Structure 1
Amino acid sequence: MSHWTAGMRDSFFQSLYEEAKKNRNIILITSDTGAICHDEFKEKIPYQYINVGIAEQNMIGIASGLAQTGKIVYVYAIVPFATMRCYEQIRVDLCCMNLPVSIVGIGAGLDYSTLGATHHGTEDIALMRSLPNMEIYSPADGLMADLLARQYDNQSGPRYIRLDREGLPLVYEEESEFDLSRGFSVLSKSKQLYIVATGRMVYSALQVAKKLSSQSIEVGVIDLFRIKPMNKEGLWGVVKDAKCLVTLEEHFVTGGIGTAISELIAVQKKTPSFKVIGIPDQFCEIYGDRNDLQKLYNLDVSSISKSIKIWLKNI
């Protein structure tokens, strides 16, 4: 797909606003994280919008209380502050009580590139994966983000949705029908090599597949948009006959989807050769835009393609 869409954040909150206009029980809570897409909440339905200030722990506590009264609660902050600063409150107030609150983190991966490691969202999947009852969604484009904003009727427990700020190329067609219950989409098939990617890296995986296919390397691409609970049986059914399997994420290699997939294949009798591609286990001490940091960590399309080619030659 070559045409661009609005950022995931704008798509998500525009859809959530449309839903909130129809349902007074929908409440959006922020921790002083500004976004133009919140203006309609503040101006037109202010009784459904709460800004708690820079107090993420309080934000989660308030969300817990409102959820217990039947409200449909969304909390919003930059990824590190939405997941780490209030981790104990998420664990105790949401997960232990299994309350249907949606944590929306903006700035997945290296999105806030120039603000440095304090604002990078590079360990959030690992943190949220370790919490019982927590679901994790990582959409690949604005269309998937739009759908997630509208899917709350059957939410039975807490969920974490990690979003990108930037406008991204569409991975899906506008008329696509998503099966959220499946947890992943097979975008292309292969018996040679599959790349399982999540979030913005799904589009990168498609570009890598195109680049490698021109060199006679057949690559299938899977969008793992629901990281937890992972549809292990369904996913394994797709990749088990491939010779090679690669995971691709803008997240630390520790604890992300690479770890999740390795846990899946570790219990299988016969497995594909396996490679994890992500951010090394170190904080970024370099400042630059996202493209600069992706090149630094060999997460640009050219570097990923080269890494896979070298790996294939050596297995």
Structure 2
Amino acid sequence: MRADFFQGLHEVLKKDDDVVLLTSDTGALVLDDVRKTIASRCINVGIAELNMISVAAGLALCGKTVYVYAIIPFVTLRCFEHYRVDVCATNLNVKAIGVGAGLDYCTLGPTHHAHEDIAVMRTLPGLTILSPSDEVTGKLFAKLSYDIPGPVYVRLERYGQPLVYPNAKEEDFKKGLNVLRKGNGSAVIIATGKMVVTALKAAETLKKQHSIDVSVVDLYRIKPLNTELMIDVINQSKEIFTLEEHSIIGGVGSIISDLLVENRISKPLRKIGLPDDYCRRYGTRDYLHGLIGIDAENVTKIVKNELGK
């Protein structure tokens, strides 16, 4: 997914001379192609993420659209105050590209895990948060982030298989969410990022093995939430499940919980995500998902049990 995003960003850079990319010594093979053709607007500031945000703000004040790229904990949590003061308070055209959603960096431990970023970044006024689910959306969201005025945060995976949207086009991503599977009204799973694939797998198993027909929603624009459309989706289901590779505190589950309370909608909600703890186990991402209980098999069991089947 990261490679696809930067392919899309490369196209944007070639079309607009006022777009600049800043990196903090974070490499990716696809960036080599960008540097070869647009070296003067692809700048490595070194391992200095805080300085990178301030440089980006300065460039944006001069009329540039600036992309800043690093691993998620370093481009969000480490830089939070700089976003708040330098970027969001003045509504600047700075786009933060974070790689390594959730437990993507599964062998590097808690320092590189990203399980608080949505909770933290969504508190910033005026910031748009995008969460692609596959390689196709990864590439499309490069242009989408460019078209959105003001600050944007894009939450990327390193990889984006299997495909969720094999034939998608840019116009398919104007509403903030997509209903990927329409069930019979018993329940809906609202997922984001990589967990959209998990939700679809669980929904397929529930249908085939347990005759439970649930809907699946891809919440690809986490902020601003399309409140009207999300309420319409929720009203069509008896029970709601949220699924995310993020802490159950402050993420998609909390967003939907707030929506229910603010609109006086009384329906069961079960939040499925990372627990309120650090993951100190190491292994493949699938292995960690199984340990924590957010893999397709465990999600299937949770939904089945909650629905009393």
| Shorter-chain TM-score tier | over 0.9
Q: CA deviation at 1:152?
A: 4.7
2:105 is aligned with 1:125: no
Aligned to 1:203: 197
Aligned to 1:226: 221
Q: CA deviation at 1:25?
A: 1.2
Q: Does the aligned pair in 2 maintain the 1:102–1:159 contact within 8 Å?
A: yes
1:254 match: secondary structure: coil
Aligned to 1:241: 236
Counterparts of residues 97-176 of structure 1 (less than 5 Å): 97-152=90-145, 154-176=147-169
Give a deviation string over 1:213-239, Cα, whole Å, max 9, x none. 111101100000000000111111122
Aligned to 1:281: 276
Q: Does the aligned pair in 2 maintain the 1:189–1:219 contact within 8 Å?
A: yes
Aligned to 2:82: 89
Choose from 245, 253, 266 the match for 2:248. Answer: 253
Distance in 1 between residues matched to 2:169 and 2:142, nearest whole Å:
16
Distance in 2 between residues matched to 1:276 and 1:228, nearest whole Å:
18
Instruction: Note closer, same or farther for the CA distance 1:78–1:196 as it changes in structure 2 (3 Å cut).
Output: same
Residue type of the partner of 1:229? P
Aligned to 1:303: 298
Instruction: Note closer, same or farther for the CA distance 1:175–1:224 as it changes in structure 2 (3 Å cut).
Output: closer
Moved more, 96-105 or 180-189: 180-189
Moved more, 203-212 or 165-174: 165-174
Aligned residues: 307
2:213 is aligned with 1:213: no
Aligned to 1:34: 27
2:14 match: secondary structure: helix
TM-score norm. by structure 2 comes to 0.96
Residue type of the partner of 1:207? K
Distance in 2 between residues matched to 1:177 and 1:13, nearest whole Å:
16
Q: 5+ unaligned residues in a row in structure 1: which ranges?
A: 1-7
Choose from 70, 93, 99 the match for 2:63. Answer: 70
Distance in 2 between residues matched to 1:21 and 1:176, nearest whole Å:
20
1:272 match: secondary structure: coil
Distance in 2 between residues matched to 1:301 and 1:178, nearest whole Å:
30
Distance in 2 between residues matched to 1:177 and 1:15, nearest whole Å:
12
2:307 match: secondary structure: helix
Residue type of the partner of 2:246? H
Counterparts of residues 33-52 of structure 1 (less than 5 Å): 33-52=26-45
Q: CA deviation at 1:241?
A: 2.8
Instruction: Note closer, same or farther for the CA distance 1:269–1:147 as it changes in structure 2 (3 Å cut).
Output: same
Distance in 2 between residues matched to 1:81 and 1:19, nearest whole Å:
25
Residue type of the partner of 2:261? A
Q: CA deviation at 1:17?
A: 0.7
Choose from 6, 11, 22 the match for 1:13. Answer: 6
Distance in 1 between residues matched to 2:168 and 2:78, nearest whole Å:
38
Distance in 1 between residues matched to 2:271 and 2:139, nearest whole Å:
29
Instruction: Note closer, same or farther for the CA distance 1:199–1:95 as it changes in structure 2 (3 Å cut).
Output: same
Distance in 1 between residues matched to 2:168 and 2:250, nearest whole Å:
34
Distance in 2 between residues matched to 1:175 and 1:266, nearest whole Å:
34
Which structure 1 residue ranges, 4+ long, deviate > 4 Å from structure 2? Answer: none
Q: Does the aligned pair in 1 maintain the 2:71–2:112 contact within 8 Å?
A: yes
Residue type of the partner of 2:37? K
Distance in 2 between residues matched to 1:167 and 1:147, nearest whole Å:
13
Distance in 2 between residues matched to 1:112 and 1:98, nearest whole Å:
31
Distance in 1 between residues matched to 2:265 and 2:192, nearest whole Å:
25
Residue type of the partner of 2:231? W
Q: Does the aligned pair in 2 maintain the 1:25–1:71 contact within 8 Å?
A: yes
What RMSD over aligned residues (CA atoms) do the two structures have, in Å? 1.3
Q: Does the aligned pair in 1 maintain the 2:135–2:159 contact within 8 Å?
A: no
Residue type of the partner of 1:79? I
Residue type of the partner of 2:207? S
